[in-house]
Amino acid sequence: MHRTRIRVAADALDANETIARANRADFDRAGVAVVNLMSAPGSGKTALLERAIEAGLDSRVGVLEGDVQGSLDADRIARLHVPVTQLNTAPGFGGECHLDANMVRTALPDVPLAEIDLLVIENVGNLVCPAEFRVGEDARAMICSVAEGEDKPLKYPLMFRACELVCVNKIDLLPHVDCDLDRLLANVAAVNPDATVLTVSARTGEGIEAWRAWLDAVPRRSATRA
């Protein structure tokens, strides 16, 4: 029974990789770079995305908004006059706690790829499952907040290890929460020494220019890769 479960999981991940490659081919044909943006619920993905857009991205950006249900985050992004597509995992996908390649593929007909250079896929808030499923992205970024404590890289290493960028958000709260920032940064480095790490505050704007610049560099890196 144990071996059967492992085989089923491996088959599911293999199927996901096949669909992710098909997504990637579509993105490449359209000349669109893709960021898979992940975090725990409430870490500030949407707020940081709003801040980057407000700061004036050089790239023409579109957003694919992943949630179990509702459109609250998509509504916030739409107010900034960028194209946004809502992708809910309930009821069509059983209320999954992550986006996978097939879910993204079903949404692509509604994404105006011809009108954008950069697609940000804001994944469902979860520190476990989203890291396991590629969706055809060029880069992965994750947001953690100081309110979560400094132990999260050690408790959820796959999420931190899977990303090229880690944004430590809500640093304006450091005087009010029990978090040692130096220890948090050391834990990120221990799990993923190659990650770019930014300390930011969506509330005060600290670090937002570096975050915007990183997003703007993704299409350039994608073009070089191609």
* pLDDT > 80? residue 202: yes
Residue 85 CA to its chain's centroid (Å): 15
> Which two three-digit tokens encode residue 79?
């107010």
Do the beta carbons of residue 50 and residue 63 sit within 8 Å? Answer: no
Average pLDDT over residues 171-191: 98
- The pLDDT of residue 88: 96
Q: Which pLDDT score, from 0 to 100, does residue 10 have?
A: 62
What would the two tokens of residue 110 be?
A: 């509604």
Can you tell me which residue has the tokens 């469902």? 124
| CB 102 within 8 Å of CB 16 | yes
Calculate the alpha carbon distances from 129 to 125, 158, 162, 192, 198 in Å: 10, 9, 12, 18, 23
Residue 170: both structure tokens together: 């809500």
For residue 147, pLDDT over 80 is answered with yes
Average pLDDT over residues 155-170: 97
- Provide the pLDDT for residue 93: 82
Is the pLDDT higher at 1 or at 22?
Answer: 22
How high is the pLDDT of residue 215?
98
Q: How confident is the model at residue 1 (pLDDT cuts 50, 70, 90)?
A: very low
Cβ-Cβ contacts under 8 Å for 162 (sequence gap 6 or more): 131, 140, 142
Residue 8's pLDDT is 46
Quote the percentage of the chain above a pLDDT of 70: 94
pLDDT at residue number 92: 77
pLDDT tens per residue across span 6-29: 454 566 678 999 999 999 999 999
Q: Is 131 exposed, middle or buried (0-12, 13-18, 19+ CB in 10 A)?
A: buried
DSSP string, 34-90: EEEEEESTTSSHHHHHHHHHHH--SS-EEEEEEESS--HHHHHHHTTT--EEEEE-T
**pLDDT, tens digit, 9 for 90 and up, residues 23-65:** 999 999 999 999 999 999 999 999 999 999 999 999 999 999 9
Q: Which CATH class is domain 2-225?
A: alpha beta
- Mean residue pLDDT across the chain: 93
Q: Is the dihedral of CA 103, 105, 130, 21 positive or negative?
A: positive
Please give the DSSP secondary-structure letter assigned to residue 127: S
Alpha helices for 130-180 (secondary structure H): 152-155, 157-161
Strand 165-169's sheet: what is its strand order? Answer: 84-88, 61-67, 118-122, 33-39, 139-145, 165-169, 196-199
**77-107 confidence digits (pLDDT tens):** 999 999 999 999 997 788 889 999 999 999 9
Per residue, the 3-state secondary structure of 178-189, as one string, reads CCCHHHHHHHHH
Nearest of 37, 30, 2, 4 to residue 166 by alpha carbon: 37
